[in-house]
Protein backbone atom coordinates (compact mmCIF):
# COMPACT_ATOMS: atom_id res chain seq x y z
CA UNK A 1 0.00 0.00 0.00
CA UNK A 2 2.89 2.31 0.74
CA UNK A 3 4.35 1.96 -2.72
CA UNK A 4 0.93 2.42 -4.40
CA UNK A 5 0.45 5.77 -2.64
CA UNK A 6 4.07 6.94 -2.94
CA UNK A 7 4.09 6.07 -6.65
CA UNK A 8 0.86 8.03 -7.18
CA UNK A 9 2.51 10.99 -5.43
CA UNK A 10 5.68 10.78 -7.56
CA UNK A 11 3.73 10.35 -10.80
CA UNK A 12 1.49 13.33 -10.05
CA UNK A 13 4.43 15.42 -8.82
CA UNK A 14 6.72 14.75 -11.79
CA UNK A 15 4.30 13.82 -14.60
CA UNK A 16 6.04 10.51 -15.28
CA UNK A 17 3.62 9.45 -18.02
CA UNK A 18 1.75 6.69 -16.19
CA UNK A 19 -1.40 7.91 -14.41
CA UNK A 20 -0.34 11.48 -15.14
CA UNK A 21 0.66 12.56 -18.64
CA UNK A 22 4.29 13.48 -19.26
CA UNK A 23 4.85 17.14 -18.64
CA UNK A 24 1.64 17.47 -16.59
CA UNK A 25 3.29 17.15 -13.21
CA UNK A 26 2.57 19.35 -10.25
CA UNK A 27 6.09 20.81 -10.56
CA UNK A 28 5.08 21.99 -14.05
CA UNK A 29 2.22 23.96 -12.52
CA UNK A 30 -0.53 21.47 -13.34
CA UNK A 31 -3.05 20.77 -10.58
CA UNK A 32 -2.90 17.13 -9.48
CA UNK A 33 -6.64 17.14 -8.71
CA UNK A 34 -8.35 19.45 -11.20
CA UNK A 35 -8.68 17.17 -14.24
CA UNK A 36 -9.90 14.24 -12.15
CA UNK A 37 -12.39 16.31 -10.17
CA UNK A 38 -13.77 17.98 -13.31
CA UNK A 39 -13.82 15.04 -15.76
CA UNK A 40 -14.18 11.88 -13.69
CA UNK A 41 -16.84 12.92 -11.20
CA UNK A 42 -19.67 13.75 -13.59
CA UNK A 43 -21.78 10.70 -12.64
CA UNK A 44 -21.28 11.02 -8.90
CA UNK A 45 -24.22 12.13 -6.77
CA UNK A 46 -21.63 14.41 -5.11
CA UNK A 47 -20.51 16.01 -8.38
CA UNK A 48 -21.15 19.58 -7.23
CA UNK A 49 -19.07 19.16 -4.08
CA UNK A 50 -16.12 17.57 -5.84
CA UNK A 51 -16.13 19.90 -8.83
CA UNK A 52 -16.23 22.92 -6.52
CA UNK A 53 -12.92 21.69 -5.03
CA UNK A 54 -11.26 21.18 -8.44
CA UNK A 55 -8.01 23.08 -8.80
CA UNK A 56 -8.14 24.63 -5.34
CA UNK A 57 -4.62 25.07 -3.97
CA UNK A 58 -5.52 23.72 -0.53
CA UNK A 59 -7.06 20.58 -2.11
CA UNK A 60 -3.93 19.97 -4.20
CA UNK A 61 -1.63 20.39 -1.19
CA UNK A 62 -3.78 18.23 1.09
CA UNK A 63 -4.06 15.51 -1.56
CA UNK A 64 -0.34 15.43 -2.33
CA UNK A 65 0.72 15.56 1.31
CA UNK A 66 -1.68 12.71 2.05
CA UNK A 67 -0.34 10.55 -0.80
CA UNK A 68 3.27 11.13 0.24
CA UNK A 69 2.70 10.72 3.97
CA UNK A 70 0.64 7.54 3.70
CA UNK A 71 3.14 6.09 1.23
CA UNK A 72 6.19 6.87 3.34
CA UNK A 73 4.49 5.74 6.56
CA UNK A 74 3.68 2.30 5.19
CA UNK A 75 7.00 1.83 3.42
CA UNK A 76 8.88 2.50 6.67
CA UNK A 77 6.28 0.97 8.99
CA UNK A 78 5.81 4.12 11.07
CA UNK A 79 2.54 5.85 11.99
CA UNK A 80 0.66 2.94 10.40
CA UNK A 81 -2.45 3.41 12.53
CA UNK A 82 -2.85 7.04 11.57
CA UNK A 83 -1.76 6.43 7.97
CA UNK A 84 -4.27 3.60 7.68
CA UNK A 85 -7.13 5.83 8.77
CA UNK A 86 -6.02 8.67 6.49
CA UNK A 87 -5.52 6.29 3.56
CA UNK A 88 -8.99 4.79 4.10
CA UNK A 89 -10.57 8.27 4.19
CA UNK A 90 -8.79 9.33 0.98
CA UNK A 91 -9.81 6.07 -0.72
CA UNK A 92 -13.42 6.62 0.39
CA UNK A 93 -13.42 10.17 -0.97
CA UNK A 94 -12.07 9.02 -4.34
CA UNK A 95 -14.67 6.23 -4.40
CA UNK A 96 -17.47 8.71 -3.71
CA UNK A 97 -16.09 11.02 -6.40
CA UNK A 98 -16.32 8.30 -9.08
CA UNK A 99 -19.47 6.62 -7.79
CA UNK A 100 -20.82 4.52 -9.37
CA UNK A 101 -17.57 2.77 -10.37
CA UNK A 102 -17.10 2.27 -14.09
CA UNK A 103 -16.40 -1.48 -14.15
CA UNK A 104 -18.56 -2.72 -11.28
CA UNK A 105 -21.73 -1.11 -9.94
CA UNK A 106 -20.64 -1.39 -6.30
CA UNK A 107 -17.06 -2.47 -5.63
CA UNK A 108 -13.81 -1.31 -7.15
CA UNK A 109 -10.20 -1.15 -5.97
CA UNK A 110 -10.94 1.78 -3.65
CA UNK A 111 -13.21 -0.40 -1.50
CA UNK A 112 -10.45 -3.00 -1.37
CA UNK A 113 -7.98 -0.25 -0.39
CA UNK A 114 -10.32 0.86 2.42
CA UNK A 115 -10.55 -2.69 3.77
CA UNK A 116 -6.79 -3.20 3.55
CA UNK A 117 -6.12 0.11 5.31
CA UNK A 118 -8.53 -0.81 8.10
CA UNK A 119 -6.83 -4.18 8.49
CA UNK A 120 -3.35 -2.63 8.47
CA UNK A 121 -4.27 0.06 10.99
CA UNK A 122 -5.73 -2.58 13.31
CA UNK A 123 -2.52 -4.64 13.37
CA UNK A 124 1.03 -3.82 14.43
CA UNK A 125 2.22 -4.35 10.84
CA UNK A 126 4.90 -1.65 11.17
CA UNK A 127 6.42 -3.46 14.13
CA UNK A 128 6.49 -6.72 12.18
CA UNK A 129 7.79 -5.40 8.85
CA UNK A 130 9.29 -2.00 9.48
CA UNK A 131 10.66 0.53 11.87
CA UNK A 132 7.50 0.65 13.96
CA UNK A 133 9.06 -0.80 17.10
CA UNK A 134 11.85 1.79 17.13
CA UNK A 135 9.39 4.52 16.18
CA UNK A 136 7.15 3.57 19.14
CA UNK A 137 10.08 4.08 21.52
CA UNK A 138 10.70 7.70 20.52
CA UNK A 139 9.77 10.56 22.83
CA UNK A 140 7.49 11.98 20.18
CA UNK A 141 5.33 8.85 20.02
CA UNK A 142 5.39 8.39 23.78
CA UNK A 143 4.05 11.92 24.10
CA UNK A 144 1.54 11.51 21.26
CA UNK A 145 0.54 7.81 21.15
CA UNK A 146 -1.81 8.33 18.19
CA UNK A 147 1.37 8.58 16.06
CA UNK A 148 2.20 4.93 16.70
For 71-96, write each residue's pLDDT tens digit: 999 999 999 999 999 999 999 999 99
pLDDT at 97 over 90: yes
Instruction: Evaluate the CA torsion angle 104, 92, 98, 30 in order and state its sign.
Output: negative
pLDDT at 6: 97
**Predicted confidence (pLDDT) per residue in 19-73, tens digit:** 888 989 999 999 999 999 999 988 999 999 999 999 899 999 999 999 999 999 9
Q: What is the distance between the alpha carbons of residues 44 and 48, in angstroms, rounded to a whole number? A: 9
C-alpha span between 131 and 79 (Å, rounded):
10
pLDDT at 130: 86
Q: Where are the domains of the chain?
A: 2-147
d(C-alpha 35, C-alpha 41), whole Å:
10
- Per-residue pLDDT, 106: 82
In which band, very low, low, confident or very high, does the pLDDT at 14 lie, cut at 50, 70 and 90? Answer: very high
Distances 4 to 8, 60, 70, 113, 129 between C-alpha atoms, Å = 6, 18, 10, 10, 17
pLDDT of residue 58: 97
For residue 141, pLDDT over 90 is answered with no
pLDDT of residue 132: 86
pLDDT of 101-130, one tens digit each?
Answer: 888 878 889 999 999 999 999 998 888 888
Amino acid sequence: MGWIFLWAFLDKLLGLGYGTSEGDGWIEGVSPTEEFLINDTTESPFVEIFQAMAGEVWVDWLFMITLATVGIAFIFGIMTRLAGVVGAVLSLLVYLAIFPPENNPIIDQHIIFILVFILLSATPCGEWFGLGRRWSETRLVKGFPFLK
